[in-house]
Amino acid sequence: MKKIAAVGIVIISCVLVWYLFFKKGDYIYQFKEKASTGTLYYSISNWEKTSDDVETQTLDSVLYKQLTQKLTYKDEEYVLFWDLENLNDSISKVSVGVKKPGESLYNRLTAPFSKTAFKQEAIAFLTEFKTVLFKNLSTFKVNIEGRSVSPEKSCACVNAVASPDRKAAQMMRNYNYISNFIVRHDLQADGYPMVIINNFDKEVDRIDMDFCFPIKGVTSLPESKDIYFRGISAEPSLKGIFNGNYMYSHHSWFSLFDYAENHDIQLKTKIVEQFHNNPNLGGDALKWKTEVYIPLVE
């Protein structure tokens, strides 16, 4: 009996030491969201761009999984430890450990038992984050269709390097440029415009992209400074449908990444998008349609 009591005391002591000195955060805030881990990671990383009330600095991160973030809110400084977990094809779990430097021990002792100023402030700024997140998520929709085959096309293309959310700006910049080239040289269009992501550097959030107009009946193009011919092969792919402004279509990539991870599917680094609407014409972006394909490693 004494041995059992001693073991119990040791276990309780270890848990207490962990809670007071080693646990991530003085207060833990958790919620679930209908979003990919990549979308959540992206939203957390860009939090201060969507709110006038906070300033943030990323101190450490594991791509799409964890972030350690310095936060300034109402002239007070905090450290946030974000953990992201994909639960299924549509739901992710978020756990945030909140720490206030210099007051950690006091906050750990009081936060579980009373509505301290620290706890109320933590809930306030994290609730604000959720409100902004919900507003952003309402601007687009993603539907995963599963395995498919990407389009096979011959194209007139222009290359650009940009951040994913600047992709739409590159498209708008070059839409009329390529269209006029096709008309001027009496080329025959062959379907919706496409973007080929040749490389997505996730760590620095940069893409190398070709914006392409499908054409038919030719295997080369008249000489041009920027526009060149590219053949695009059909490939077995994971397919999704994105509805929303094209500047946010990279969020469909994150959903496809999570789906592939959940279903043990290996993906290539290339991404193919085919756009059914002209962004220069405006309108309700939620009615815009993009077919998104990420080729499979087979």
**pLDDT of 22:** 40
Q: Average pLDDT in the 34-46 region?
A: 96
**pLDDT of 7:** 39
Q: Which CATH class is domain 16-138?
A: alpha beta
pTM of the full structure: 0.87
Nearest to 172 by CA among 189, 195, 152, 153: 195
Angle at 52 between CA 50 and CA 56, to 5 degrees: 75
Neighbour count for residue 68 (Cβ, 10 Å): 17
Instruction: Judge contact between 239 and 147, C-beta under 8 A.
Output: yes
H/E segment holding residue 160: strand 153-162
pLDDT at 184 over 90: yes
What are 126-175's pLDDT values in tens digits?
Answer: 999 999 999 999 999 999 999 999 999 999 999 999 999 999 999 999 99
Q: What is the mean pLDDT of the chain?
A: 88
What are 78-101's pLDDT values in tens digits?
Answer: 999 999 999 998 899 999 999 998
What are 210-240's pLDDT values in tens digits?
Answer: 999 999 999 999 999 999 999 999 999 999 9
Q: Average pLDDT in the 90-118 region?
A: 76
Nearest to 51 by CA among 121, 135, 139: 135
The domain limits of the chain are 16-138, 143-295
**pLDDT of 272:** 98
Which percentage of the chain shows pLDDT scores above 90?
76
**pLDDT of 117:** 84
Buried-exposed string 75-106: b where 16+ CB fall within 10 A, e elsewhere: eeebbbbbbbebeeebebebbbbbbbeeebee
Q: What is the 3-state secondary structure (H, E, C) of 64-81?
A: CCEEEEEEEECCEEEEEE
**pLDDT of 10:** 37
Query: For domain 143-295, is the CATH number 3.40.640.10?
Result: no
**pLDDT of 41:** 97
